[in-house]
A and B are shown apart, each in its own frame.
Chain A
Amino acid sequence: GENVEQHPSTLSVQEGDSAVIKCTYSDSASNYFPWYKQELGKRPQLIIDIRSNVGEKKDQRIAVTLNKTAKHFSLHITETQPEDSAVYFCAPGNTGGFKTIFGAGTRLFVKA
């Protein structure tokens, strides 16, 4: 089955700095690569996703890059703000037999 690893598990940055979280997966059939943000006690929210026919996608301060050969994709947040503080999960999936395995999560702290 799919093995998903996220690094780092905790990330603390100063407001305005950039944050990068990496997700490594094992299933070469994975073709859908989303990132979710979860605030304490709330549901996960999709913040950005990418499919395997694209190498990079950007939405304002958030970007995702994909390296299918190396089987990893990364979340990039620029100009971080205190409200970006949350837990971020990657969840690579396969639209064919669709099943999502969540990474362990990265707790991001943005210090004002």
Chain B
Amino acid sequence: GAVVSQHPSWVICKSGTSVKIECRSLDFQATTMFWYRQFPKQSLMLMATSNEGSKATYEQGVEKDKFLINHASLTLSTLTVTSAHPEDSSFYICSASVAGPAPDTQYFGPGTRLTVL
């Protein structure tokens, strides 16, 4: 149980284009979803936290107009990287948590590797 999927697993795009990444909880309803970015040999950096039906809370230094997050249902959150540039190339990972006895347990997606040419 508690499986999280991401699509696509990898994407290559041209500079200036937008890319959408989907995060789905397959067998549970996620109270909260998180988006992380991980550069090579670095840690996971939290970008934003989103709850279904409400606006995402962005971390300091993360541009909300560049990284658009939509959390339309309890099983789907999307991250759109708008006007992508080479410096946005990274490994993007989502996670989901479940309300209940252990709301702090996070279930991670497999990640999406974005390469911007």
Question: What is the interface of chain A, defined by CB distance below 8 A to chain B?
Answer: 32, 34, 41-46, 49, 89, 93, 95, 98-105
Contact = CB atoms under 8 A, between A and B. Distances in A.
Given A42-B111, A44-B44, A89-B43, A49 B32 contact: no
Contacts of A46: 105-106
B104 A32 contact: yes
Decide if the interface of chain A is mainly helix, strand, loop or mixed: loop
Contact of A102 (B44, B49, B97, B104): B44
8 contacts: A42-B110, A43-B109, A43-B110, A98-B32, A98-B103, A102-B44, A103-B43, A104-B43
B34 interface: yes
A95 B110 CA distance: 24
A100 B96 CA distance: 12
